[in-house]
Amino acid sequence: MKKLILLLFIACAQELPIVETVEKVTFQQLMENNYPLIDVRTPQEFQGGHIENATNIDFNAADFTDKISALDKETPFLIYCAVGGRSARAASLMKSLGFKKVYELKGGYNNW
């Protein structure tokens, strides 16, 4: 019986979401962990204002997948765009590339 419970626990633990869309308050709390912060908007949008300490990796750039693939997949990442569309697609791509944990800002920079 104990083995069955342990197996069920392990199975459930493995199904934890890899990508989570979180509210601003939660995102700010996660920032306190110094997780890398990625802004997937265009360089022009980024120059117009961004969250402090964010790195700009343009989702629409031809080399986006190469740049994202070069990151440490074991590290949790925080990502955002303007309103959530590009960051959702970026998070999905990161999941498919084997990233362990990605937190996306609900509503994007416009919600910041």
Task: Report which residue type is found at 13.
Answer: A
Report the C-alpha gap between 61 and 45 in whole angstroms. Answer: 13
Catalytic residue, candidates 19, 38, 57, 81: 81
- Of 10, 9, 27, give the one whose Cα is nearest residue 102: 27
Count of all residues that appear for the chain in the document: 112
Cα–Cα–Cα angle for 75, 77, 79, rounded to 5 degrees: 165
Give catalytic status of residue 12 as yes or no. no
- The residues that are catalytic are 81
